[in-house]
Structures are given as structure tokens and as C-alpha cells.
Amino acid sequence: MKLNEQELVKKLTEREITDFYFAACGGSLNDLYPAHYFIEKESRRLHSTYLPARELTLTDPPRWNEHSVTFVLSHSGNTPEVIEAARLAKQNGSFVIAISHDPESKLANPDLYDVFYTYEWDEKTSQQDVPMGMELRILNEYLHQTEDTYQNYSQMLAGLGKIDQIIANAEKYQLPAAQKFAQKYRKQDFMYILGSGAARSQAYGFAICSMMEMQWMDCAFIDSAEFFHGPFEVLQDDKLFIQCVNVGKNRVLDTRSRDFIQKYHGQIEIIDAKNFGMEDIDDAVVDYFNPFVFYKMGVLYRDQLALKRAHDTDFRQYMGKVDYSYKSIFS
Amino acid sequence: MKLNEQELVKKLTEREITDFYFAACGGSLNDLYPAHYFIEKESRRLHSTYLPARELTLTDPPRWNEHSVTFVLSHSGNTPEVIEAARLAKQNGSFVIAISHDPESKLANPDLYDVFYTYEWDEKTSQQDVPMGMELRILNEYLHQTEDTYQNYSQMLAGLGKIDQIIANAEKYQLPAAQKFAQKYRKQDFMYILGSGAARSQAYGFAICSMMEMQWMDCAFIDSAEFFHGPFEVLQDDKLFIQCVNVGKNRVLDTRSRDFIQKYHGQIEIIDAKNFGMEDIDDAVVDYFNPFVFYKMGVLYRDQLALKRAHDTDFRQYMGKVDYSYKSIFS
């Protein structure tokens, strides 16, 4: 089903909702973070919990009940941890919003959800119609209809209308730098990726999905806010850092680590969302649009590295190739 | 002031509290995670937020108000981000619980807190009297007095009474392995550290504090639950992993990544809390005691590596040596 957020929110408002849960794995978990972050920063009454799907299932917290909404997301629709979380969510009485690219997948089972949305995944699909956009559309509508104090409704809608152009700008602006980076660092063994705020999970995804999974490169994510509290002691002139720089409230976290790495001669690749036209988005909500940009930047750098390293981004040694199944709580 | 949790909870119950905030940096932030985790898994009504201090300050969420309690923790008592968060918390009307090792530090300023607790930091101090223990004592007492459905009060008190012996067991049991590890991997450039659940932040601290800060070794933390969703593609026989294995609900997350790494010939150091007498703690609460164990294991491995690498754990190139100040929102 295609998302109509007004219809969905009408259903949600029939219930007394106090809690939102966001459960997935890997790249899909990262795509749920901006929605969790949005609730944490905007809502005056909702609780939000963001966890790897199987930790949520195994620990089954007491508030995961009929007063909750659970988002589960799986691109393939077949991730066992996500299927399991959806099943337990339903059993607990939670309202389950399931999202997948595949309308024929295991997740497309009415026992597992209250609503099931699919999305296209190609170059021409708007960011409003992929999971990060869909989630923010839902939550923007929900806060608008349920919290009088929520003031950012129209700014969010306007931002969602601008993000495709900003992404296009970003891909064009950053391409030469990404090509140069791939040529220079094609033999790099290891690097750090820094980011913060709403974009934290996409900077982490840059490390674990784009680099570790799709290039088999060792990589570590460090929150820019944490850099000065331990991690910076490894900084030397042979260390490589990719610094994601947000626009918005957390920008100063990123510029502080950027400036320090430059001052002490670290090798640094700076990807600054300021260069991509983000000033067109209202200051009150611009934070929430950084994740869209940094997801695409992970893809851009990954693809350029793939070309110079002759490492196809679809090549896997374990994922989907060998057995790593586990015993579900329902088996 | 020394903590008396009954007296403190008496003060807290004079207010209508809906939200807890946990704000610090680096190792102190890690020490706040178990308390946040405890609320998330046990409370039927409280909302909890766990963030780097400066992200909390910069984003200043709407629920950070007079219905909230804020824990701020700084070992030195002089961390600028923590001072700033405490000041804004007070300005927002939050009830501030400040904790530091130093009774004479900047945090020891009555403008910055409602209550201020200090702790000793030496070998003979009980784990009940250092921050992780203090926080769990406070929250166990608070839930006991405010939520009828909370059933784990006496089990938590019993667990707190046993953790010192478990730590002593762990240090003795794991020492020969840590010595062997340090000898073998003294020239290792990089490793991954895996862990999960309540111990997630201490496994992360093992990486950023024990290895990066105190040994200048490149290191990355990966949640065991996330290993199969990207990170495992880097696994080869020349990669090194330290796997922290919890006792409790999340144990199966850790044994799953452990078994996979072994099967595909990764170099793996297993630190299993099961070997240290954790079965003496009630199943209902044992999860919350893993962080104590894995903090100490980070210290043990760090100290053994220091001996074989001739790298004093107190040696710093940047921390406290060069200027990395920032402009506070209050300056």
C-alpha cells in the first residue's frame, strides 16, 4: 500500500498512544533514527525507543503495549529479527507500521502488521517516498494533529519538498572530491567517520554499510561530540577521517572536531551539508534533513571507491551466502 | 555529599517527574548508560533520554523541564560540556543530580545542581559507591517507591551486594588470558570490540577510553546485534575481535557473533561474564550487572597492553595538554 499519512494518522488517533518503538537492523535501523530523533526533539508527550530489532524482542519492555506504535522496516522484507519483532509487537497489542521494498516478502503477512507500506527504490523516486521521508511525513502529521504546541508542520512539509533538489546538488557538488578521494585512498586499510545529531546513524551507516559491508574496509564511526573525550588521542598525520558536517543545531559539534583534526595534521575529507543548498530549509527543522544528505554521500563515496578498488558493491562473502540463522523466540 | 538514596528519593517524590535525562561525555557518559537502560527496561511510565552533554544542551528538547530529573556526571568535575548541561538543566527547572570525584571542582557549585554527590575512586571502593552503582541504587529506590508494578527491588539490592565479589572473580579469572593477549597482540594496529545490551556502552568504552585514549590504538565498537547487518563482511582470518559476552537476556546476541567469528576463522578474544559467578545474581536483574564486569575488563586488558607496549595509560598527547575549548552557549 502507498502511504497516505492523513489516513494513517486518523487510525492512530483512535488509540491512546504514549510510546513509539523503532526496530530494525543495519541500514534499515539507521533509516529509522531520524524519526526517533524527531520525536525526541519535538514532542512534548511521546516516549520513543530506538533499538536493534532483536534487543527489543529479547528484552520486551513493559511499555511495549497497546498504547504504543511500532515501526518495523526491512528493505528485503525477510530479515528474521524484524519479522520476529513485528510478531511480538502485535502480540503485545502495539500498532505495527511495517515498511518494506518487497510487497511479496515475509513481512507482507497481515499477522505481522496493522498497516504495511511498500516503497520504490530507484533513482527517480522522491526522498519523500522512501522510508526516511515516509516516517517524517507520518510523524509530522501525527504531532500536528495531536500536540497543540507543535509549530513546525508547514516548515517540515516545505523541507520535504526541497530535499530532492538538495540531494541532487550534493551529488553534483561532491563528485569530484569523491573521485579524488577514491584515487588517493583506494589502498587505505582503515578510517574513521565522524558525524552527529540527526545524521549520527547515517554517518554510522557510512561506516558499517557503505565501507564495511560493501567495500570490506575496516572503519569506525565516532560521534563528533565524543571525539574530544577519548578518541582524539589516536590522531596522527597518518590517520584518515571523513567528517560529516551538519547544518543546524549540531553543526558546532562537527566543526569543532573538523578544526582540531586539521590543526593537528590528520588526513581529513570534509563533507559539509552547507554546500548543498540546505539554507533553503527553515532553521527550525533543517536538522532533520541532514540524514538524507549523508546517506547519499555514503553511497557516492562507496561507489567511487568501488571503481578504483574493483570491488563491486554487490559482492558479499557472508550475507545471503552462508548460514547465520538463529533460534527465534517463536520457533 | 555521600549518597543516601532514601533521602534523595524522598525529595524526588515531592515533584511530578515524567522524564530522566542522562548527560555526560566519554567514559562518564558510558557510566550513565546502565541507569538509562534500567529505566527503559523496567519503568512503566518514565521516559529516559541518554545523550552526549553538548547535544542535549544544543538541542534543548521541550520535555527537559520541571518534570524532569537530570543526571550529570564528570569524573574531574570540570568537563565544560557537563557544566554547561547542568546550568541549562537548572535554568529549565530540571532537578539536577550532579556526581563527581572531585568535591572542589567547577561542578561543585550550588548554581549547577539540586544535589551533589562525590565518590572515591580507588581499589577498595565498593562498586555500590561509584557512579554506576550509585545510579542504580537511586533508580531502584525510585521505582520501588513510585511504581507498584516494579518487582525487582530486593533482587537489585542483593545483586549490588554481590557485584564486588564477581568483579574480583573476573579480574582473577581473566588475568592469564589478558596477559597472553597483550603479548600476542602488542603490535596490533586495529581491532573490533563487540558487546550488547546493558553492556553496550562499556564495550564501546573499552574501545574509545581503554584502547583509543589510553593506548592510542585504533579500535571500533560494534553492537553484537548489528554484526550480521553489514560489519561481518570484513571478517577474515587476519582480523581481531574482542567479544564481550553478557549473561542475561542479550546473551544470545553475543554468542551468535562469537560463534560466527570462530567458524570463519577470525582471531577472537572471548570475555564471558558467565565465568565470573554471575549466576549468583537473580535472572530478573542480572542484565544490569554486566556493565560493571566489562568496565573492569577494559581496564584489565588496557593495563596488560600498557605493560607490553611500554605505553603508560596516563600518557596523553592532547587531552589536558592542548587547547580544544569551545564557545559555550552561556559565554
ipTM of the complex: 0.97
Helix (H) or strand (E) holding B233: none
User: Cell for A117?
Assistant: 507500506
pLDDT at B331: 87
| Residues of A in Cβ contact (< 8 Å) with B84 | none
All residues of chain B having their beta carbon less than 8 Å from the beta carbon of residue A196 are: 55
Q: Confirm if B236 and B208 have CB atoms less than 8 A apart.
A: no
Binary contact (B55, A189; C-beta < 8 A): no
Residue of A299, A301, A309 lying closest to A187 (CA atoms): A309
**Bridge pairing between strands B190-195 and B240-245:** parallel
Pick B226's closest partner by Cβ from A40, A52, A232: A52
Collect all residues of chain A within an 8 Å Cβ-Cβ radius of residue B326: 252, 256
How many CA atoms lie less than 13 Å away from A199 in the CB half-sphere? 36
pLDDT recorded at residue B1: 84
d(CA B282, CA B194): 25
What stretch of H or E contains B114? none
| CA nearest to A314 within chain B | B233
Nearest chain A residue to B61, by CA: A41
Q: B230, A209: Cβ pair inside 8 Å?
A: yes
- Phi-psi label, residue A94: left if phi above 0, alpha if psi -120 to 50, beta otherwise: beta
List per-residue pLDDT tens for chain B, 331 residues long: 899 999 999 999 999 999 999 999 999 999 999 999 999 999 999 999 999 999 999 999 999 999 999 999 999 999 999 999 999 999 999 999 999 999 999 999 999 999 999 999 999 999 999 999 999 999 999 999 999 999 999 999 999 999 999 999 999 999 999 999 999 999 999 999 999 999 999 999 999 999 999 999 999 999 999 999 999 999 999 999 999 999 999 999 999 999 999 999 999 999 999 999 999 999 999 999 999 999 999 999 999 999 999 999 999 999 999 999 999 999 8
CB-neighbour burial class of residue A72 (10 A; exposed 0-12, middle 13-18, buried 19+)? buried
Per-residue pLDDT tens over the stretch A82-123 = 999 999 999 999 999 999 999 999 999 999 999 999 999 999
Q: Which residues of A touch B53 (CB under 8 A)?
A: 225
Q: Reading across the β-sheet that carries B47-52, which strands appear in turn? A: B47-52, B19-24, B68-74, B95-100, B115-118
The predicted pLDDT at position A331 comes to: 87
Selected residue of A208, A223, A261 to mutate for chain B interface (largest B Cβ count, 10 A):
A208
CB atoms within 10 A of CB B124: 6
Residues (pLDDT < 50) of chain A are none
Q: How far apart are CA B34 and CA A154, in angstroms?
A: 39
Query: Do B40 and A58 count as a contact with CB atoms less than 8 A apart?
Result: no
What residue of A is the nearest CA neighbor of B226?
Answer: A26
The domains found in chain A, sorted by start residue, are 5-146 (3.40.50.10490), 174-309 (3.40.50.10490)
Q: How far apart are CA A245 and CA A252, in angstroms?
A: 9
A32, A82 Cβ separation under 8 angstroms: no
Question: Which of A45, A58, A60 should one mutate to test binding to chain B, selecting the residue with the greatest count of B CBs within 10 A?
Answer: A58
What DSSP designation does B76 have? S
